Amino acid sequence: MSDKKLILLGKIVKVHGYGGAVLISTDSAVFGKLPGIKWVFIEIDNKPVPFPVSSVTEHSSGSIVLKFEGYDSSEKIAEFVGCRLYIVNDGSESSDNLPDHIILAGFTLLGPDNGVIGKIKKVMSLPMQYMLVLESPDYKELMIPLNDGWVIKTDREKKIIVMDIPNGILDINK
């Protein structure tokens, strides 16, 4: 998907119950930031399709249970299992309430010497960690693990993040 204002929230892993709700795999820290969410985008045929949300609850596994307006049976919602789910990153209050690691799309990643490593295109949520997907100054796509221990500074106003990336990590992308 090419819409730069959308950021990956997670993936629909299964139908939850019989009332048309789905289970979303994502970082459990995200749930506390989502109670007021009104819309999500489901990736269908590689295109974002908006869906109104009627409720968001936390599952005991740390995942999110999400129910869409107009979907009141498991049969109706089952077709979306396996699809990726996105939320809007438009700089509005709703995205400001999200954790920093979710709203980094659009930030410039700098090394400890303030050299530009690249512009963050999106943050991918993988089972073990988040990955920053960047476009380097020479227009190559880079993937770097988002490790809190490597982050030196985040400046939301200037939209920059400074990281001390261990030797060899950038070489993996070549």
| Structure token digits, residue 172 | 């993996």
Average pLDDT over residues 19-48: 72
pTM over 0.85: no
Dump the DSSP string for 105-173: TTPEEE-TT--EEEEEEEEEE-SS-EEEEEE-TTS-EEEEEE-GGGEEEEETTTTEEEE-PPTTHHHHT
pLDDT, tens digit, for every residue of 57-110? 776 666 788 888 888 888 878 888 999 888 776 544 344 444 444 567 788 999
Confidence grade of residue 3 (pLDDT, cut at 50, 70, 90): very low
What's the pLDDT score for residue 94? 42
Mean pLDDT of 6-15: 84
CB count in 10 Å sphere of residue 72: 15
